[in-house]
Amino acid sequence: MPVFRGDGSNSSAPVAGPIFAGYWAIIITMLVMAGKRIAMDKKLLALLILASLSPAEAALTKIPAGFEVIAQGQQEYIEVYFSGKNLGKYYAMVNLDTVTFLDPASLYNKLELDVDDQKIAHIVKEKLSQPLARHGELACGYVRTDSGCGFLNTDTLEIIYNDEESSATLFINPQWNSAFDAKSLYLNPDKNTVNAFIHQQDINVLAQDDYQSLSIQGNGALGITENSYIGAHWNFNGYDADDVSDSNADVSDLYYRYDFLRRYYVQAGRMDNRTLFNAQGGNFTFNFLPLGAIDGMRIGSTLSYLNQAQSQQGTPVMVLLSRNSRVDAYRNEQLLGSFYLNSGSQFIDTSSFPPGSYSVALKVYENNQLTRTELVPFTKTGGLTDGNAQWFLQAGKTTSQASDDESSAYQLGVRLPLHPQYELYAGLANADNVSAFELGNDWTANLGGAGNLAISASVFRNDDGGKGDMQQANWSNSGWPTLGFYRTNSDGDACATDSRESYNALSCYESISATVSQNFVGWNMMLGYSRTQNNTDDSLRWDKQQSFENNYLRQTTAQSISETVQLSASRAFVMRDWILSTSVGVFHRNDNGGDNDDNGLYLSFSLSDTPTMDSNNNSHSTNVSTDYRYSDQDGDQTSWQLSHTFYNDSFSHKELGVTVGGLNTDTINSAVNGRWDGQYGNVYATVSDSYDRKNHDHLSAFTGTYSSTLAVSRYGVNLGASGTDDLLGAVLVDVKGFSEQDEESQDLQLEARVAGSRTLQLGQSDSVLFPYPGFQSGFVEVNDSSQGNQQGTTNIINGAGNRELMLLPGKLRYREVSASFNYNYIGRLLLPASVEKFPLVGLNSAMLLVAEDGGFTLEINGSEKELYLLSGQQFLKCPLSVVKKRASIRYSGDVTYGAKGGCTMRNRFIAAILGLFGAVTGVQAAPNVTSEITYDLANGRADYYFWNEEPPPEQTCTSAGNTSVVQIYLTEKRSGMRWPVKLKGYMTVQVWEDGPCKGWYDKKRLDDGTGYQCKDTINNVGYLAKTKVLTLYIEQEEMKKLPIGGLWEGKVKLHFSYPATDYQADIKLNVLDPNHIDVFFPEFAHATPRVQLDLHPTGSVNGSNYAQDLTMLDMCLYDGFNGNAISYEIMLKDEGRPAAGRRDGDFSIYRQGGTTTDEGERIDYRVKMYNPETGGQIDVRNNENMVWNSINLKRVRPVVLPGIRYAVMCVPTPLTLAVEKFSVMDKQAGYYMGKLSVIFTPSLPTIN
């Protein structure tokens, strides 16, 4: 039964008797309502636990009685994508099930569909006008990242709505748009890139006594145009043994490639077959067709842009080891990798092997001594297809290291998907005047109850007498043994010659392998058979003219046959944090090229613990293993090994390991290995020693590897971590925005990562280069650091968040990040009563919260050493001294007004509003008015007039045209945040005296003291305006600019010089932000809330096991009004399923797959909550409302919520989930899961 851990990993563990192994989880969902009638949408979050609940099912969650209005949704401003193109943002009504566009005509025009059929156009317009199903379960994001996401096939028009990004992607019947297929099925390369030279290098060294070797592999790409690049692969190999040394370099690829229409390509230069066997060249699977390197040209189809991510698959490579060994895998002279494997039948990890069809030489080292070399066939392909035919055509001159002769070569390949489960491929070749063909097919079938079957076969012939064939079959069915068969054979006239170095050379051997595997009572049983026959007619022995490696590869015995039969069984036992692995097997080997048959058996044990990471990201593991084996030829052998490894994963991976082992009592082996995967590359090294106790002789060896990526672009030369063996793009994240501050601010950190990479930290003026595989879809993400020991707070100004990626080789995406660094202070302000009676506003702070007793919390830019305050019309300067520090918090102690080192009064800033006006007549405006407005922050409200054509005071201010702008500051009552608001105003002057100017009027700026006269040009008489009326108002757009919801207060004062009168408006804006009403779980931040109950059984081994748990969950409530709501109504409820015998008010989770809801398949729990009115804990009853009318404002706290840049006041209401002790024997084993809904309804003022 699998045991799932919280980190997403899994392992297998046995279950005996009523052991209670599993994962108990609560899905937290939230329904948020505002007011008593209007429902404000808060996403209904549904969690996928163990794939038990599909997103579609989550969307169908039943709305509780009284809250049906939430399904009506709300208006959102969402981004719309079509065929890989961003169409812009559009307003839409979004609810739990559908999305309805509010301006479908504008959206239709932006589609630019090329359709002549008006009926199709009408259908598209009609669908865009209707509610469209969300299909959110298909969206790619945090919950789902597999290759099937982000695509929808439809006969008309559908969308996929991504709730995480507030975006919708349109999908239309592909027959309606000739370009649709290419646009929707294929990825669009990132346009925000620059050309660069990006190179991946791998350096391997080996030193063993008098033998040393150096191997360097490299691949690079240089971007040329938007869709073309130069690619290259090269390697260098050298060795020195005794008095013999040799070295060689080879450039296997150097070509220019140009892609067009995202489906086809043309390339010219030196090319081998590696791209033909992956998505870049059509993903072919030829086993025998001669496709060696050529200097020439190739044209064909490509799957590089296909919107899928399939792991590259290869034929299985298995090796039988008699003891723990090192296995080096070579392709010709290229080292593909080194593997340290345990004894028995082991599969080689070929994930890093380059695509293609070639032979792999496996060199087996025991005690650092080469014991044998095996040659196995290998084919690797990605298995990708888009349903279209794939093809290529190439021509050129052959290249060979063994010969300077060049000959013409022509090759053609076609891959036809005749059925979704059947594919036919064919190839023709003519090289060195030898013609050849290969024909093959692949068939996969789902036989229903009869299981799954996969069959591949191919046949090859050339006119030089060469022939070959391959068959492969795999069958599996639940509850039945899994069968596997693989056979390849090649033969011909060339196999009778001593030299087989020509371009058309065949492998000249037959290889057969067959396996039957089955899980039986917890044991993994396998019966395997392998047979290898050498089809050469001559025996090739040691040739002194050949190198050491070539001699091992070329030694053969004519027509030799080797057969092996093996039966093995293995099982792993999990004991808390330890895993005991054991295997046992017997084998029979018959080799007519060797001395005698061999029979034997082996038995092995391995005990290892699971690394547990501490708070500093350190962990360690121990492994103890021993095995015994017997064979007729080698007799008894007993080996043992003890190893311990230390790990550190603080933004780079480091490990240090020590290993000690031995063979019988004759040999003692020891090794020390280290690894560091860092920002500037990956380093791995091992120093090993083998001591022969009989001969008192040491045999020591050193192996080392360094891998990294180099990028040269307009942004300079950058070195990064190791990439892949294929051509690369890259992402450069550059931090620019930090000013030179004190020493502590130098330690600030940001975090950056790209898809598939480790998170790295960046500090002030740092940059980091991420290698990124070409043609792969992914992302780059930059966030504040999660490191807990920073001395302040990092605020990213530009460059934060997640951005999608799809890079071509030789392209670099540049991401510039700017940020500021703030300090956090706490202390107490002791100010006189004349200052305290007014709200305190921090003039140079990012945030200032002051309690009734003067206690303050302050966030301020790191370069600031003093805090400037405004209280009414008084300005104070307070020094920011530091009494003591803890983590990122600075404690300032008591800051007393008038005391030495305390706050001091500053000269008042006097904003004089002066001007001279003539005497006016008319009705005077009310000198003092109070204006209180309540509105929705997202939508604002109509322009609000404080005075509308009222006789005014005088005013000086900025002006534009005939309108003046008066800037005032509003202060949010709860948080003390201060925000500038611009009011607009003007005066209308009028003449009412009889005469030609009667009825004349003009619009004047507030600071205009002239131009109040109408000129009678006939009589040359001027008439002075007798009436001036004032208009002063705040615009709707200005009201929408306030940063957060809350109670915003301020004043505007105007002054008459004659008659002398002061006018004042008290402004109160009740700003409601229902779009951000939130039930916030700080532990999960932006992620879906998920809670794991730790119910691992404890107790004795005689069956009296029990389980219990107490889990804390931090939660706070934000009302969209910065804590100013009239009342809070909250209800918690579970799924509402029957629960016979459950205590009244309790909640439950249920066993997945259970058929009943009785106590044996249900776990009950209680919920306690912090009461923000009393400050104590209260028992929460299932499905019962609680109403709070008097929130203790001293208990609210500032929190930065998702989607809100500034801190808002959130009411803390942490939960405690308690599972009382119960007997494990009373419960069915399995996975228990449930949902806990938190329904929050703040009562807000009525919008006026």
- What are the DSSP calls for 309-350, one per residue? ----EE---EEEESSSEEEEEEETTEEEEEEEE-SEEEE---
Cβ atoms of 1135 and 1235 within 8 Å: the answer is: yes
pTM value? 0.55
pLDDT, position 260:
92
pLDDT, position 400:
64
- Average pLDDT for residues 396-419, to the nearest whole number? 81
pLDDT at 1040 over 50: yes
Digit-coded pLDDT (tens) for 332-366: 777 888 888 876 557 787 767 776 667 888 988 87
| Phi/psi of residue 941, nearest 5 degrees | -150, 180
pLDDT, position 989:
73
pLDDT, position 790:
57
Query: Which pLDDT band holds residue 59 (cuts at 50, 70, 90)?
Result: very low
DSSP-based three-state secondary structure for 28? strand
pLDDT at 954 over 60: no
Digit-coded pLDDT (tens) for 569-583: 988 888 878 888 898
Digit-coded pLDDT (tens) for 1108-1143: 888 888 888 988 888 888 889 999 999 888 888 888
Digit-coded pLDDT (tens) for 621-639: 899 989 898 888 878 888 8
Digit-coded pLDDT (tens) for 1092-1115: 777 767 654 445 577 888 888 888
Digit-coded pLDDT (tens) for 442-463: 988 877 678 888 899 999 999 8
Query: Which pLDDT band holds residue 986 (cuts at 50, 70, 90)?
Result: confident
Query: Which pLDDT band holds residue 797 (cuts at 50, 70, 90)?
Result: low
Top-confidence residue, 37 or 1153? 1153
User: What's the DSSP call for residue 448?
Assistant: G
Share of the chain above pLDDT 90, in %: 17
Query: Which pLDDT band holds residue 994 (cuts at 50, 70, 90)?
Result: low
Amino acid at 97: D
Residue that the structure tokens 């919260």 belong to: 849
Characterize 966-1004 residue by residue with b for buried, 16 or more Cβ atoms within 10 angstroms of its Cβ, and e for exposed: bebebbbbbbbbbeebebbbbbbbbbeeeebbeebebeb
- Average pLDDT for residues 960-965, to the nearest whole number? 66
- Average pLDDT for residues 540-551, to the nearest whole number? 51
pLDDT, position 285:
86
Query: Which pLDDT band holds residue 314 (cuts at 50, 70, 90)?
Result: low
Q: Which residues contact 899 (CB under 8 A, 6 or more apart)?
A: none
Query: Which pLDDT band holds residue 148 (cuts at 50, 70, 90)?
Result: very low
> What is the CB-side half-sphere exposure of residue 793 using CA atoms within 13 A?
15
Domains and their CATH numbers in the chain: 67-180 (3.10.20), 823-905 (no CATH), 929-1072 (2.60.40.2520), 1078-1243 (2.60.40.2040)
Burial (CB < 10 A; 0-12, 13-18, 19+), residue 1248, is exposed
Residue that the structure tokens 């563990």 belong to: 13
- Average pLDDT for residues 494-512, to the nearest whole number? 74
Top-confidence residue, 755 or 248? 248
Strands 728-735 and 811-830: what pairing?
parallel
Cβ atoms of 233 and 216 within 8 Å: the answer is: no
CA–CA separation, 1202 vs 60, rounded Å? 25
pLDDT at 425 over 90: yes
pLDDT, position 383:
52
Top-confidence residue, 1220 or 1020? 1220
Query: Which pLDDT band holds residue 32 (cuts at 50, 70, 90)?
Result: very low
Cβ atoms of 1196 and 1123 within 8 Å: the answer is: yes
Question: Average model confidence (pLDDT) for the chain?
Answer: 76
Of 681-685, 872-876, 947-951, 1054-1058, which one has max mean pLDDT?
Answer: 681-685
Chain centroid, CA 726 distance in Å: 22
Share of the chain above pLDDT 70, in %: 73
- Average pLDDT for residues 918-927, to the nearest whole number? 35
pLDDT, position 179:
38
Characterize 702-734 residue by residue with b for buried, 16 or more Cβ atoms within 10 angstroms of its Cβ, and e for exposed: ebebbbbbbbebebeebebbbbbbbbbbbbbbb
Beta bridge partners, 74, equal 94
DSSP-based three-state secondary structure for 935? strand
pLDDT at 225 over 70: yes
- Average pLDDT for residues 1198-1220, to the nearest whole number? 84
Digit-coded pLDDT (tens) for 244-257: 888 889 888 999 99
Digit-coded pLDDT (tens) for 810-851: 999 998 887 777 778 888 888 887 777 777 777 777 778 888
Query: Which pLDDT band holds residue 128 (cuts at 50, 70, 90)?
Result: very high
Top-confidence residue, 1058 or 198? 198
pLDDT, position 848:
81
Q: Which H helix or E strand runs over 1039?
A: helix 1036-1040
DSSP-based three-state secondary structure for 524? strand
pLDDT, position 189:
85
- Average pLDDT for residues 1058-1079, to the nearest whole number? 75
- Average pLDDT for residues 786-794, to the nearest whole number? 59
pLDDT at 275 over 60: yes
Lowest mean per-residue pLDDT among 62-76, 216-230, 968-982: 62-76
Q: Which residues contact 241 (CB under 8 A, 6 or more apart)?
A: 210, 211, 212, 548
Lowest mean per-residue pLDDT among 60-64, 209-213, 723-727: 60-64
Structure tokens at 769: 């280069």
CA atoms 356, 357, 358, 359: torsion sign:
positive
| Phi/psi of residue 743, nearest 5 degrees | -60, -35
Top-confidence residue, 782 or 460? 460
Say what angle helices 118-129 and 104-111 make with each other, to 10 degrees: 140
Top-confidence residue, 163 or 640? 640
